[in-house]
Amino acid sequence: KWFIYELHMLINNVEKYLENNDIHLAARAILEFIVEKLSHRYITLIRPRVWIEEDVPEKRAVYATLYLGIRELIKLIAPFAPYLAEYLYHAFVKKLSHREAKESVHLENWPTIPSELLDKESWKIVSDLFDVAESILAARMKAGIKRRWPIRKVIIVVPRNKIEQYREAQDVVKVYANIKNVILQHTKEAIENLELVCETPLPTYAKLELDEETLMEGLARDVIRRIQVYRKELELPIDTVIPKAYVFTMDELLRKAIEKYRDYISRETRVANLIVSDKPLTNARKWSIEGKELYIRLELL
């Protein structure tokens, strides 16, 4: 609902800019939407649901929303980049819904969002939580805690009469800012040993420290990142399952983290069998995680 309402506002703003001949402002608004709202925010939030193996309603809802957004964006960029828009229209829209598509993107009507899909109240709640999440990320950076490393607890003070609406959308903070436990309450009572990281739109408190448990999970995510980069360098398709992968490190905490989160690492990197080797590996790629050496060997056959 947040993404659809953001798209609705973008379409209205671009239309106003074009009517006033502010072409540069219209183009800038589209680019900012694609980078910030679509890529950095929406894609980050939906990634866990996209990776669900089963064909479930929440996965279908994500794909339907993403399709709607990309289709309308292609129409929106047509006046600015006609050839690119035409290519994308044929490669994406006509390929996925050839019966409904026109012969050309330039035969399409100007994009609009049906009124029944617009929910301003939900948009406002999610926007507030994104603002909170951005403040947490800024506090993380100041404290030297990487985004991939989870924070154990955050407390957000919300209006009493809207606590259920915020609770439905609290995963925005949990996923976007990487928080293990998001607590919503309507008073500032019982908040101890936590740092104020955000005053508006919602007072937010967090403990910006890492214990061994969260540190190990953060290290596991760093391992995931290295394997994903390795996959990309090998130009493996995203759905390719790697039959076997070996990892080796002499660092005790890193090894402990890999063993504890072995299933999680395997699932996120699509490795069928992740083996923690007791001996140094040959023909392995060397990586560094927080000054700790890690060796990885992927076996594709």
**Cα–chain-centroid distance for residue 53?**
18
pLDDT of residue 57: 87
In the listed set 181, 210, 239, which residue is the last one of a domain according to the structure? 210
Residue 250 belongs to domain spanning: 213-299
Pairing type for strands 285-289 and 292-299 reads antiparallel
Residues 11 and 99 in one domain: yes
**pLDDT at residue 9 in the model:** 97
Asked which of 39-48, 82-91, 220-229 is least confident by mean pLDDT, the reply is 39-48
Q: Is 157 found in the same domain as 109?
A: no
The enclosing domain of 282 has a CATH number of: 3.30.2320
Name the 3-class secondary structure at 297.
strand
188-225 core/surface letters (b: 16 or more CB in 10 A; e: else): eeeeeeeeebbeebbbbbbbbebeeebbbbbbbbbbbe
pLDDT band at 48 (very low <50, low <70, confident <90, very high): confident
Q: What pLDDT is stored for residue 258 in this prediction?
A: 96
Given this model, what pLDDT does residue 24 score? 95
Q: What is the CATH number of the domain that holds 94?
A: 1.10.730.10
> How confident is residue 249, by pLDDT bands cut at 50, 70 and 90?
very high
Domain boundary among 73, 92, 117: 117
Whether residues 35 and 110 fall in one domain: yes
Q: Are residues 130 and 51 in the same domain?
A: no
Check residue 112 and give its pLDDT: 92
Domain shared by 189 and 254, yes or no:
no
pTM: 0.84
